[in-house]
Amino acid sequence: MLVEVYDDVNRIEEYSIKQGAFSDLSITEIHTVEAVGLYGSKTMSEIAAQLEITMGTLTTAVDKLIRKGYLERKRSNTDRRIVNVSLTNRGKLAYRIHEKFHLDMVKAIMNDFTAQEEEILLKALRKLNSHLKDIYMAARQSASTRGS
């Protein structure tokens, strides 16, 4: 059931993006926009770490998003090796619309729950989230010990 719910959310999210004003974005690209964040800028290293992807993969994604008009890149004035990435106005709009999609989806789902069901669901989701993070951290720890 968990896999089915996950797949359904992904399908709804992809459909929403493709039907909306930002149909030129993929789900991966919108997640990159989210990782850059609405305020200020982030370094390429920070974004790659947050998304858990290589710098090469991120560079390709950022180049594409710059061409599409969602991101801009600037070198640091103090250290030319550091590259900062920020959202353009179009990128900020895409961020806000996608954030609103998430909020609207959650509100629509929660409208079907009683207060008691909502509390039970939230408690179960917190446990699930904690358990999944524990599994992930254990897997990362195991991989890093094997790699040493």
Per-residue pLDDT of the chain (148 residues; tens, 9 = 90+): 889 998 998 898 888 888 888 899 999 999 999 999 999 899 999 999 999 999 999 999 999 999 999 999 999 888 888 999 999 999 999 999 999 999 999 999 899 999 999 999 999 999 999 999 999 889 888 887 876 6
Amino acid at 66: I
- What pLDDT was estimated at residue 121? 93
- What pLDDT was estimated at residue 148? 64
Distances (CA, A) of 103 to 12, 21, 100, 126: 13, 18, 5, 18
- What pLDDT was estimated at residue 141? 85
- What pLDDT was estimated at residue 128? 93
Packing angle, helices 2-19 and 27-36, rounded to 10: 90
- Calpha distance 65→147 (Å, rounded): 33
- What pLDDT was estimated at residue 143? 81
* CATH architecture of the domain with residue range 2-112: Orthogonal Bundle (1.10)
pTM given for the model: 0.82
